[in-house]
Amino acid sequence: MIAIIDYGVGNLFSVEKAFAQFTDDVQVTSDQAAIEQAEKLVLPGVGEFGACMKNLVASGLIPTSMKRISAGVPLLGICVGLQVLFDGSEESPDAKGLGVFRGMVRKINAPGLKVPHMGWNSVEVSQPGLGLFKDIPETPYFYFVHSYHAVPEDSSIVAAVTEYGEGLTAAVARDNVMATQFHPEKSGDVGLLVIKNFINS
């Protein structure tokens, strides 16, 4: 079963709908037992970093989720679900992230351009061997909505980048943990292919 972790943050059911195109064995859940038994985990997230972390802490699901990650269970973070995997964010200086990846989430520096970065943008895959991007066309376009982006301490975990005033982290991956800043569930056929690849990984 694929568990989409429900900690009271939006876009859960659009993510579930996208996954349901490829598998019947997916559910949105806040049940600890279900997460303990899941074969794969999905961590969505929209809105402010601090609010997401507050909800995640209040859910009581962090210890179970971290235990499953440590056990090698594949996890896909989406949007703020990517950002909370890092140590913290300039958006919410008092909120501590999960620290799965070392580094901070920084405000986009794009002079002359509107922030948030919203809409379709081309992505350059920097880990072409990553299963998440299997059969993805060269320089695909994905849908973004964000004002902050992750700046990892270890650049080798960057799986994809996009340009918007500066180079922005579009995806990260290491071992069983991968995450996208873009919304695959809102990115048409190419986004659905990313979801299908995660299911089949």
Active site residues: 79, 183, 185
| Cis peptide leading into residue 116 (ω within 30°) | yes
Return the structure tokens found at 156.
Answer: 């080798």
* 105, 148 Cβ separation under 8 angstroms: yes
SS3 at position 96: strand
Using DSSP bridges, classify how beta strands 103-107 and 148-152 pair: parallel, antiparallel or unpaired.
antiparallel
- Residue 23, judged by CB atoms within 10 A of its CB (0-12, 13-18, 19+), counts as middle
Residues 6 or more apart in contact with residue 199 via CB below 8 angstroms: 2, 19, 22, 23, 40
How is residue 59 annotated by DSSP? H
* 88, 137 Cβ separation under 8 angstroms: no
Q: What is the rounded radius of gyration, in angstroms, for the C-alpha atoms of the chain?
A: 15
Q: CA-CA distance, 112 to 170, in Å (whole number)?
A: 21
